[in-house]
Amino acid sequence: MSATNNGLLILVRILLSFMFIMSGFGKLTDPAGTAGMISGAGLPAADLLAYAAGLYELVAGLFILVGFQTKITAWTIALFCVFTGLVFHTGTVAIEGWPEGALGWINTLN
């Protein structure tokens, strides 16, 4: 790899980790806002999930920053982003909540 590619990879790693670290820190310092969004989507245990999401984002961001288990961490971040995207950023689920409970999103895929 060239020096330019290495520099770009380091920059992307720093920016990605900063994004997740700041997001996780925000969720941990203001869990009520995140819990409100989670309960609005119809998920149970919103307070617990808010803290869990914040802790996950903070730790995953730190793992990416320091280069610890980067492949595994990157895959878990990708799955986390797909899941949260489906839950909170698609029209039906984000606005109307889960159809038929928390696993009802499977029916929306059919």
pLDDT of residue 107: 59
User: Which comes out higher in pLDDT, residue 20 or 3?
Assistant: 20
Q: Where are the domains of the chain?
A: 3-108
Q: Give the Cα-Cα-Cα angle 4, 5, 8 (nearest 5 degrees).
A: 85
- Does residue 54 or residue 97 have the better pLDDT? 54
pLDDT by residue (tens digit) across 48-78?
A: 999 999 999 999 999 999 999 999 999 999 9
∠ CA 66-71-72, rounded to 5°: 95
* pLDDT value of position 16: 92
Please state, rounded to an integer, the average pLDDT across all residues of the chain: 84
Query: Are the beta carbons of 74 and 64 closer than 8 angstroms?
Result: yes
Q: Are 20 and 60 in contact (CB under 8 A)?
A: yes
Task: Express as a percent the part of the chain with pLDDT over 90.
Answer: 52
